[in-house]
Chains A and B, each alone.
Chain A
Amino acid sequence: MHIKNIAIYVVVFFFTIIILELFLQLGSVGVLSDNVTDTKLGNALKPNYQFVYFNEGFSVGKINDFGYYGPAYPRINKNKERICLLGDSYVEGIQVFERNHFRNILENELNNSNSIKYEVLNFGRSGFNLNNVYCYYNLFVKEFNPTKSIVFISASDLLNNETSKLLPFAEKINDSIYINNDFIDYPPFKYKQATEAFRGKSIILGFISKCITIIKSGEYKEIVFEKLTPSNNKDVIKDIDKSIKMTDLTKSIIMELSNQNCVFVIHRETTTNTYDYLIDEFVTYAQNINIEVVDLSPLFESLKKNEINFNHWGKSKKKGHFNQQGHKEIANYLYNYLISKK
């Protein structure tokens, strides 16, 4: 009888978990993994993945059939001016609805004021640095035949070229840049591939994984003990090592991307300004080799001066990525730049 009761308990427990998993998925209570392993890209966005995002902002959206954000423009470019946006989470911009994203606003403005039709594609990827962007551009974005590409850079992109071992990375060998795809043989990548079928398919398992991460990082103390947790001076700003310079690889990547009709948009870190001197170094380098650079700093300074909030999120009280107003301002700024260049 005792064993029978235990068996009943276990069956009912897991059955209830399954029902709750269904509820969580249908109610968009949690998030499933939005990426898939890819033998070319390492880590690609999952096509047709629907998401509900809550963090700084709130958005509901979808990754299109081709594995990038926004409308699904196919690889074949039907004689339209095609602009591809590249960068990190600031370009990805899933903090806002697609209709408020600067991609959409820019595209509408260009099409409303020109006889030539424009398509603007969003290839932003959260966490990508310049090395990742370079690989992504050459391995994926180029297939979409951009007329022009806009690469967003911040100081952290220029800091170093370290990248995840689960992704392809660019390296310089004898004055040429090669894309290394050793990640394919990397055991953690193989493990991810082998477990793809069931990994990232359960919200509850995702919760467990996140909880383990929180416990390992020690952040659980604040969650459990709240205001009884002693403060640990998180806000201490570390000294900046100003001896760090742009590497030769970074400079070569910039040169090559520029040769492929890429324009660089620089934005100084909106939350910290610790390595912004690298942006100055980049600007000097860009001027010396005559490459196109758009500096968003004057725009942000002007917005701050006029007390227009572009990166503060009222509801979540967080500060960082561009909010709806920020996206609107960037779209207008880029529009004016592109029109001036025609």
Chain B
Amino acid sequence: MLFNSFIFFIFLGIVLPLYYYLPAKLRKPLLLVFSYIFYAYWDWRFSSLLFISTVTDFFLGKQIFNNKKKGKYFLFVSMVVNLGILAFFKYYNFFIDSFDALATNMGMHLDYLHLNIILPVGISFYTFQTMSYTIDIYRRKLGPSNSFIDFAVFVSFFPQLVAGPIERATNLLPQIQNLPKPTKLQIQQGIVLIVVGLFTKVMIGDTTGRFVDQIFGQPSLYKSSELLVALVLFSIQIYADFSGYSSIARGVSKLLGIELMKNFEQPYLSTNITEFWRRWHISLSSWLKDYLYFSLGGNRKGVKRTYINLMITMLLGGLWHGASWNFVIWGGLHGVYLVFHKLILGKAKPKAEYIYDNLGGISLLASKVIFTYILVLFTWLFFRATSIETTQIFFSKMIHWEPSEFTMRFLGITLIFMMATFTLDLLMYYTKTHTYILLIKNKSIVYGILTAMFFVTLLFMFQSDPLPFIYFQF
């Protein structure tokens, strides 16, 4: 069930009172049962995959910990099982179709190997999450869980099961083992995150998405400026959609007394591409850094190898998003950007904090932010385009520019959404918190703002078709 749906609020309305009023020892089984109900709502058949992944890594985790010498082999088995399931459901047809395209040129056909496979929701997320568990045990960062229920709740925890954040066992497992009741502050923060997240996802993400889906669906029908506007609106849509969803996930978790990691930290305010990847989809980028990049050697094996490791990480990161060459190109482009940035920086490390205290400095900051945004915007084309043909049409229309009678209308609409997103981001940036509304001392003002936002969002949800969350397809 989608977070932006009424059935989810009904679900939450059942889970939360039970969670608060049941005895402590029953809270974990309750979470486990309702997490599986949440997942089974999509398609009950795939609950079995979730269970297989849970059982496999629970027992393999113990074996990895107890067998110092043979731990590597048990880890390997864990990787094979997890990645095998992911590879089959997500990438089997991609590779068959790619090989078929090559084989056709040689007069052979492999299309008979194509299968009708349904991609289980959230498989990319929970697979990475369980893999982090076994890898951290192998690296001796974590001991195995002795309670199967604790581990099962860790894997299936419904607020972050289908779309992240991809949690680390070192963060989430201890919280699940203790499962405290939420504090008053957590409940307040949780409500704020849910309301603001829902507003962001529905009123910014879904509304921009309507334009994007139509224009990218039939790009040949639209003029050049309209396509460009659609790309900018997509950059807003994907950010609002994903960050809104992550915000709701964090908010719901807080209502259960659990702290999840932040997944976004105002990425479009980044001054360079390296900073962008510290602010965008943080749970994935940090996972790739810790478990792939560092495993390949990171920057410890020379400059050339560092760049190769970076490229491999970003290419695979692109592939994680979807079984399509478009995503590989997207990841590859970001890899190139990161390599270039490292080249420019040389041995210097990027500054963590920049001080801009005069007009010249502010202008420099603004131009860095805009330049970084443009670099990222270009890659979004490959991320969103459903086919190479769409990309070709886009480029063709940029080169052979066709003016549109609606350029100013579209620009006006885009500006409004940019301002809305920018305002929310600036508030988070300068207050250094996602629950900035709670900084207002007078709680009547807080309640007034939140209830108005929630009311309008619910009205919109009630009378329009919800757009699915973009990252569900991953």
Contacts and interface: CB of A to CB of B under 8 A. Distances in A.
Interface in B184-217: 203, 207, 210-211, 213-215, 217
Interface in A30-55: 30, 50, 52, 54
B428 interface: no
A250 B203 CA distance: 47
Contact of A16 (B207, B210, B449): B449
B448 A28 contact: no
B445 A29 contact: no
Contacts of A12: 444-445, 448-449, 452
B462 A9 contact: no
A226 B462 contact: no
Interface stretch (A148-156, A208-216, A241-249, A284-292): A208-216
Interface string A311-336: 00011000000001000000000000
Contacts of B406: 60
Interface residues of B, number: 40
A58 B7 CA distance: 28
Interface residues of A, number: 44
Given A28-B413, A204-B456, A211-B462, A8 B203 contact: no
A9 B217 contact: no
B312 to A, nearest CB: 36
Contacts of B7: 224-226, 228
A58 B210 contact: yes
A42 to B, nearest CB: 26
Contacts of A50: 409
A8 B444 contact: yes
Contacts of B416: 23, 26-27
B153 to A, nearest CB: 25
A327 to B, nearest CB: 11
A215 to B, nearest CB: 9
- SS class of chain A's interface: helix, strand, loop or mixed? helix
B210 A54 contact: yes
A329 B381 CA distance: 32
Interface string B258-287: 000000000000000000000000000000
A48 to B, nearest CB: 13
B453 interface: yes
A211 B460 CA distance: 9
Contacts of B405: 99
B99 interface: no
Contacts of A223: 6, 462
Nearest to A50: B409
A31 B20 CA distance: 42
A187 B7 CA distance: 41
B218 interface: yes
Contacts of A324: 218, 221
Contact of B462 (A14, A15, A220): A220
Contacts of B459: 204, 207-208, 211
A13 B452 contact: yes
A72 to B, nearest CB: 14
Contacts of A315: 213-214, 217-218
B217 A211 contact: no
B203 A29 contact: yes
B214 A57 contact: yes
A49 B417 CA distance: 22
A179 interface: no
B94 interface: no
B183 interface: no
B420 interface: yes
B452 A17 contact: yes
A208 B463 CA distance: 9
B196 to A, nearest CB: 13
A100 interface: yes
Interface string A137-176: 0000000000000000000000000000000000000000
Contacts of B447: 9
Nearest to B440: A12
A9 B409 contact: no
B4 to A, nearest CB: 12
A20 interface: yes
Nearest to B460: A207
A20 B453 contact: yes
A231 interface: no
A29 B207 contact: yes
Contact of B214 (A5, A58, A224, A228): A58
Nearest to A10: B448
B445 A8 contact: yes
A252 B53 CA distance: 74
A315 B412 CA distance: 24
B337 interface: no
A6 interface: yes
A177 interface: no
B228 interface: no
A24 B444 CA distance: 24
A207 B214 contact: no
A230 to B, nearest CB: 15
B221 A100 contact: yes
Contact of B448 (A9, A24, A30, A225): A9
A194 interface: no
Interface of B: 1, 5-7, 10, 203, 207, 210-211, 213-215, 217-218, 221, 405-406, 409-410, 412-413, 416-417, 420, 442-445, 447-449, 451-453, 455-456, 459-460, 462-463
Given A5-B444, A207-B460, 17 more contacts: A6-B444, A9-B444, A9-B445, A12-B448, A16-B452, A17-B452, A24-B456, A26-B413, A27-B207, A27-B413, A54-B214, A60-B410, A210-B463, A214-B463, A223-B462, A226-B5, A228-B7
- Identify the 8 closest CB pairs spanning chains A and B, nearest first: A12-B448, A16-B452, A58-B214, A207-B459, A8-B444, A13-B448, A315-B217, A9-B444
Interface of A: 5-6, 8-17, 20, 23-24, 26-30, 50, 52, 54, 57-58, 60, 97, 99-100, 204, 207-208, 210-211, 214, 220, 223-226, 228, 314-315, 324
7 contacts: A9-B444, A60-B406, A211-B459, A226-B5, A226-B7, A314-B218, A324-B218
